[in-house]
């Protein structure tokens, strides 16, 4: 699939903008603060209905406006065209239409457009907390099969309900609290076992892809390990929750489960978070994104739109050239504050200045 046309109204610093994109590589060049990343953000928003920068709705709507519109025409590999329109309301509920039909569930949009984003913030995958790495796994699962979005939301709901019960206990395990916990623990285990298996299967499939992508970027074969081995999966979640029940009651939170899992990385046998250089960490982060992009392409039969948001400036010349030389086939959007390096072969160039877009 490719995004053929993108239109913005009152999105970030864009009063209005309408432009065509090529099926190959489009370069978006503009100074910092002029809106090139905003343009990339709008495109990625249609894939997940959230900002890859973690921004809330009111930050996406232009100052002084009540709502923003993102409108895109998507052409699928079989020739079908889909018109997607997202209305972002600064203080209210967002609305989404596909081919002028309002979606009853916003989740139904997932999969209509798939986007892989590389950004300087991706370093958080390696240097950040466990939640950042869980999000990487879970976002990849959702890109592979949208059913995992519902699974993820159900786990969040159960954890919140369970935590509310634990707080109500106020440190005392009464017969009533214990009986209710048993019910919630059984529900939790049923869905957690499914999700834990999906995560473990994903890690097994993606590890060799991460290894190969890292080698391409670094130019040298390097041992890369991804480990996802939560202890609760060895004994079953019900037994694991029973073992920590006193701790959960005392602390008032659920201390075991998929919401607390860790995905760890090692480079040359050493923990990447503490022992790798920043160059190695950034290369690993890029390799993780490339691997997910490759897996989604293979499993769904179509390449996601690939967005490289200002990442070239974060890499040394060798790694930047290697990344550009190994960009997978499909639609690519590159944003940059400087002119493109020679290794980048753009089919189209757009220049952004103060929220206005012009041709190359």
Is the pLDDT reported for residue 108 higher than 80? no
pLDDT of residue 67: 94
Over residues 340-357, the mean pLDDT reads 85
Q: From the CB of residue 319, how many other CB atoms can be counted at a distance below 10 Å?
A: 20
Which DSSP string corresponds to 278-338? Answer: HHHHHHHHHHHHHHHHHHHHHHHSSPPEEEEES-GGGS-HHHHHHHHHTPPSS-EEEEESS
Q: Which of 6, 29, 25, 30 minimizes the C-alpha distance to 348?
A: 25
- Domains of the chain, first to last: 1-114+305-360 (3.40.50.300), 126-301 (1.20.1050.90)
The bridge status of strand 270-271 relative to strand 305-309 is: unpaired
Over residues 24-39, the mean pLDDT reads 90
Average pLDDT of the chain is 92
Please answer whether residues 29 and 337 qualify as being in contact, where contact means their C-beta atoms are separated by less than 8 angstroms: yes
pLDDT of residue 186: 97
Is the pLDDT reported for residue 219 higher than 80? yes
200-214, 217-231, 242-256, 310-324: lowest mean pLDDT where? Answer: 310-324
pTM for the structure as a whole: 0.91
Over residues 224-247, the mean pLDDT reads 96
Percent of the chain whose pLDDT exceeds 90? 71
Query: Phi-psi bin for 88: left (phi > 0), alpha (psi -120 to 50), beta?
Result: beta
pLDDT of residue 339: 81
pLDDT of residue 106: 64
């Amino acid at each position: 699939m490719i995004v053929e046309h993108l239109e913005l109204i009152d999105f970030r610093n864009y009063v209005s903008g309408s432009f065509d994109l090529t099926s190959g590589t489009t370069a978006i060049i503009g100074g910092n603060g002029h809106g090139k990343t905003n343009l990339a953000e709008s495109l990625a928003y249609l894939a997940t209905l959230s900002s890859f920068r973690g921004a809330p709705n009111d930050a996406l709507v232009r100052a002084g406006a009540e709502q923003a519109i993102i409108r895109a025409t998507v052409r699928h590999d079989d020739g079908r065209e889909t018109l997607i329109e997202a209305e972002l309301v600064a203080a209210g509920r967002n609305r989404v239409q596909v081919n002028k039909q309002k979606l009853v569930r916003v989740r139904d949009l997932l999969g209509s457009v798939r986007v892989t984003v590389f950004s300087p913030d991706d370093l958080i995958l390696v240097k950040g907390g466990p939640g950042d790495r869980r999000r990487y796994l879970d976002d990849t699962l959702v890109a592979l099969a949208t059913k995992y979005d519902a699974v993820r939301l159900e786990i969040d709901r159960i954890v919140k309900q369970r935590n509310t019960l634990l707080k109500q206990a106020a440190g005392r395990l009464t017969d009533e609290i214990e009986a209710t916990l048993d019910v919630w623990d059984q529900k939790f285990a049923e869905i957690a076992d499914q999700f834990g298996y999906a995560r473990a299967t994903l890690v097994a499939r993606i590890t060799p892809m991460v290894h190969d992508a890292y080698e391409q970027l670094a130019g040298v074969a390097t041992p890369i390990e991804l480990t996802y081995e939560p202890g609760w999966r060895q004994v079953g979640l019900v037994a694991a929750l029973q073992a920590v029940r006193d701790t959960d009651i005392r602390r008032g939170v659920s201390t075991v489960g998929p919401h607390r899992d860790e995905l760890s990385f090692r480079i040359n046998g050493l923990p990447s978070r503490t022992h790798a250089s920043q160059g190695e960490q950034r290369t690993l982060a890029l390799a993780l994104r490339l691997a997910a992009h490759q897996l989604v392409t293979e499993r769904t039969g179509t390449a996601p739109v690939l967005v490289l948001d200002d990442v070239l400036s974060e890499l040394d010349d060798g790694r930047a050239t290697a990344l550009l030389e190994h960009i997978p086939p499909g639609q690519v959007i590159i944003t940059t504050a400087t002119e493109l390096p020679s290794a980048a072969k753009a089919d189209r160039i757009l220049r952004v200045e103060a929220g206005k877009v012009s041709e190359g």
